[in-house]
């Protein structure tokens, strides 16, 4: 059947046919561009699971994840703890710490002096949420977002913690969040990848990111995140040589297709036809991607909204604007990483710079999506991999201090895509050290995000080397309180 179709297509109106075929396959479960081997047989039960997707009506269709890499302090952003200011310099009581493990950077300290936020807090919006003074734009959208103050994780170092958030396991080569969604839901646009990754570097102490975070793991490589770079080639190898016009490229592709077709006639191997299709998609990507990444046609009001940085490729603001454009075009999962949030020292100055980097554009993204009527179906997530200690790392001063890693309690926010807006969820003790109310484990968070996308996290599985793997590993509960 396929063979006849393909033959017919090749002999008659190849280009027209191919675009039709690719749309057909692109809307299947697999990542858009991304046609699976025609022979790739899936395990029967997997097929059944996949066919059942989505498992229930989705609230969100797409995700934009604004990952704050390095772990921003919850105590200078969303978790207001005046007691820490009044207890300045006092030792963290053992009754609060309860022997919890510390990183090697502070486990040697003989004292754990408490330190409060250098920045003032105020309450905003109808939710009366406390937000620190370095996030004024976020304060402006407070009634559109849901702040979760009771996140907790298992890892205490950056690499495992990031990997845990993105893949559901601290170590191991597992598929990342976006890859799972590409695998489960595919893309809505056959000219763009289902899973795109954007990187920006902040001004604070940096932690590298690593391509493992957008790896497909054991899933088919068609589900790996495609990194958009800020160089002149937004997608690797996308750009043709300078002297090659679109017509010349077209001509070469026709030449290649005609030659491939001769082989196909001889060997009858459907993978030859699949190859021709991939070249056609590459050709279409060469037009589609530059159109998306070109912000020159955006109106002034949009540029003003995101701030002037959005015209500088590779900045967080530019990536937020690009994320909106990609998401608007149907990219299932846009993953941003903004580096520079690892404030072991010089926290007040670094944190202020970092917040300035991200605050306006993060809020602008929400406003922009909302004015386009897209916020309802787009889930936006803002947050890091863990929190920071309520005590000072190193030398303590009123106006200069640092904070070590703290996995026991930290804050993130979410907006749109079926999440309750104008809500603050979860509570920590007055020291901001332990969760006292509604804890949300990373796996609970992942289960909830999948749920918003219409996926039962226990049923999005892939069998690899004898075991059925999930993004949520072996645990995770949907936090229904967060869902509108």
Partner 1 sequence: MKSRVIHTGVILIWISCVISACQSENQKSIGLSGSGQVSYNFHIRPILSDKCFTCHGPDANKREANLRLDQEESAFKALEESPGKFALVKGDILNSEVYHRITSQDPSELMPPPNSNLSLNEQEITLIKTWIEQGAEYEPHWAFVKPEKKLPELTSDWAKNEIDLFIEAKLQSVELKPNPPAQPHELIKRASLDLTGLPPSLAILEKLANFEGEISYEKYLDYLLEQEAFGEKLAILWMDISRYADSYGYQDDNIRTQWPYRDWVIHAFNQNLPYDQFLTWQLAGDLLPHANKEQILATAFNRNHKYTEEGGVIDEEYRVEYVLDKTNTFSKGVLGITMECAQCHDHKYDPFSQKEYFELYAFFNNSPEKGYQGDVSISKPAKTPILWIEQEDTKDILSFINHPDTSKLSVSVMDELDGTEKRTTYILDRGLYDAPTMPVDPSTPAAIFEFPDQFEKNRLGLANWTTHPDNPLTARVFVNLIWQEIFGTGIVKSAGDFGMQGDLPSHPELLDWLAVDFMENGWDIKRLFKLILSSATYQQSAKIQKDHLKIDPDNTYLARSPRLRLPAENIQDLVLASSGLLHPEIGGPSVKPYQPAGIWESASSGRGELATYIQDSGKNLYRRGLYNFIKLTVPPPKAIIFDSSNRDRCEVGRGRTNTPLQALVMMNDPMILEASRVLASKLMTAESNPESAIENAFRRILCRKQTSKEKMLLTAYYEDQLARFENQPDQVFETLNVGEFPLREKDVNPKVAALMQVIVSLYNLEETITKI
Per CB under 8 A, contacts with partner 1 among 250-269 are 251-252, 255-256, 258-260, 262-263, 266-269
- Report if residue 173 touches partner 1, rule: CB under 8 A: yes
3-state secondary structure of 454: coil
E strand or H helix that includes residue 392? strand 387-392
Q: State the nearest-atom distance from the C-beta of 85 to partner 1, in Å.
A: 26
Q: State the nearest-atom distance from the C-beta of 183 to partner 1, in Å.
A: 13
DSSP secondary structure code for residue 62 in this structure: E
Q: Closer CB to partner 1, residue 181 or residue 197?
A: 197
- Report if residue 103 touches partner 1, rule: CB under 8 A: yes
Cα–Cα distance for residue pair 408/98, rounded to 1 Å: 12
3-state secondary structure of 142: helix
- Which of 15, 370, 459, 477 touches partner 1 by CB under 8 A? 459
Within 10 angstroms of residue 381's Cβ, the number of other Cβ atoms is 22
Q: Closer CB to partner 1, residue 177 or residue 264?
A: 264
- Report if residue 28 touches partner 1, rule: CB under 8 A: no
The most distant pair of C-alpha atoms in the chain lies apart, rounded to whole Å, by 82
Within 10 angstroms of residue 171's Cβ, the number of other Cβ atoms is 11
Q: Closer CB to partner 1, residue 137 or residue 457?
A: 457
Stretch that binds partner 1, among 71-79, 229-237, 381-389, 408-416 (CB under 8 A): 229-237
Binding to partner 1 in span 31-50, by CB under 8 A: 33-37, 39, 41, 45, 49
Q: Closer CB to partner 1, residue 48 or residue 484?
A: 48
DSSP secondary structure code for residue 211 in this structure: G
Q: How many residues line the site for partner 1 (CB under 8 A)?
A: 90
| The token pair that represents 385 in the structure block | 């991999």
- Report if residue 301 touches partner 1, rule: CB under 8 A: no
Binding to partner 1 in span 306-345, by CB under 8 A: 314, 339
- Report if residue 244 touches partner 1, rule: CB under 8 A: yes
Cα–Cα distance for residue pair 147/143, rounded to 1 Å: 10
Taking the CA atoms of residue 355, residue 357, residue 363 and residue 364 in that order, the dihedral angle to the nearest 10 degrees is: 170
| The token pair that represents 446 in the structure block | 């992942």
- Report if residue 455 touches partner 1, rule: CB under 8 A: no
Q: Where are the beta strands (DSSP E) in 219-326?
A: 226-228
Binding to partner 1 in span 374-413, by CB under 8 A: 404-405
- Report if residue 98 touches partner 1, rule: CB under 8 A: no
- Report if residue 282 touches partner 1, rule: CB under 8 A: yes
CA 419 to chain centre: 16
């Amino acid at each position: 059947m396929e063979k006849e179709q393909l033959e017919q297509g090749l002999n008659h109106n190849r280009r027209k046919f191919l675009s039709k075929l690719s749309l057909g396959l692109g809307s299947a479960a697999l990542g858009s561009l991304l046609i699976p081997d025609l022979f790739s047989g899936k395990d029967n039960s997997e097929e059944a699971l996949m066919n059942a997707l989505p498992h229930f009506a989705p609230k969100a269709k797409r995700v934009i994840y604004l990952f704050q890499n390095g772990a921003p302090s919850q105590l200078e952003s969303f978790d207001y703890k005046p007691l820490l200011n009044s207890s300045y310099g006092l030792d963290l009581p053992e009754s609060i710490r309860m022997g919890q493990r510390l990183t090697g950077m502070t486990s040697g300290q003989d004292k754990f002096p408490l330190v409060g936020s250098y920045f003032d807090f105020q309450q905003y919006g109808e939710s009366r949420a406390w937000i620190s003074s370095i996030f004024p734009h976020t304060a402006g959208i407070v009634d559109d977002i849901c702040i979760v103050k009771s996140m907790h994780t298992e890892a205490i170092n950056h690499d495992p913690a990031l990997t845990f958030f993105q893949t559901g396991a601290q170590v191991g080569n597992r598929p990342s969040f976006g890859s799972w969604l590409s695998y489960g839901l595919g893309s809505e646009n056959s000219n763009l990848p289902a899973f795109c990754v954007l990187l920006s570097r902040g001004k604070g102490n940096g932690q590298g990111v690593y391509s493992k975070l957008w790896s497909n793991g054991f899933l088919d490589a068609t589900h790996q995140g495609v990194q958009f770079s800020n160089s002149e080639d937004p997608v690797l190898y996308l750009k043709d040589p300078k002297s090659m016009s679109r017509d010349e490229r077209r001509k070469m592709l026709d030449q290649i297709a005609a030659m491939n077709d001769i082989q196909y006639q001889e060997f009858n191997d459907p993978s030859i036809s699949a190859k021709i299709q991939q070249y056609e998609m590459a050709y279409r990507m060469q037009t589609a991607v530059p159109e998306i990444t070109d912000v020159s046609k955006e109106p002034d009001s949009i540029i003003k909204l995101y701030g002037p940085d959005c015209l500088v490729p590779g900045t967080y603001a530019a990536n937020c604007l690009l994320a909106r454009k990609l998401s608007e075009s149907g990219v299932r999962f846009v993953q941003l990483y903004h580096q520079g949030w690892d404030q072991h020292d010089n926290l007040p100055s670094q944190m202020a710079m970092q917040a300035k980097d991200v605050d306006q554009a993060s809020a602008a993204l929400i406003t922009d999506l909302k004015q386009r009527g897209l916020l309802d179906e787009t889930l936006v997530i803002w947050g890091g991999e863990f929190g920071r200690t309520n005590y000072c790392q190193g030398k303590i001063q009123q106006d200069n201090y640092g904070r070590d890693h703290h996995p026991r309690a930290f804050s993130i926010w979410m907006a749109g895509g079926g999440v309750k807006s104008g809500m603050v969820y979860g509570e920590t003790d007055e020291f901001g050290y332990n969760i006292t109310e509604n804890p949300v484990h990373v796996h609970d968070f992942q289960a909830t995000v999948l749920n918003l996308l219409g996926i039962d996290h226990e049923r999005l599985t892939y069998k690899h080397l004898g075991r059925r793997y999930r993004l949520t590993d072996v645990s995770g509960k949907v936090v229904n309180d967060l869902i509108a």
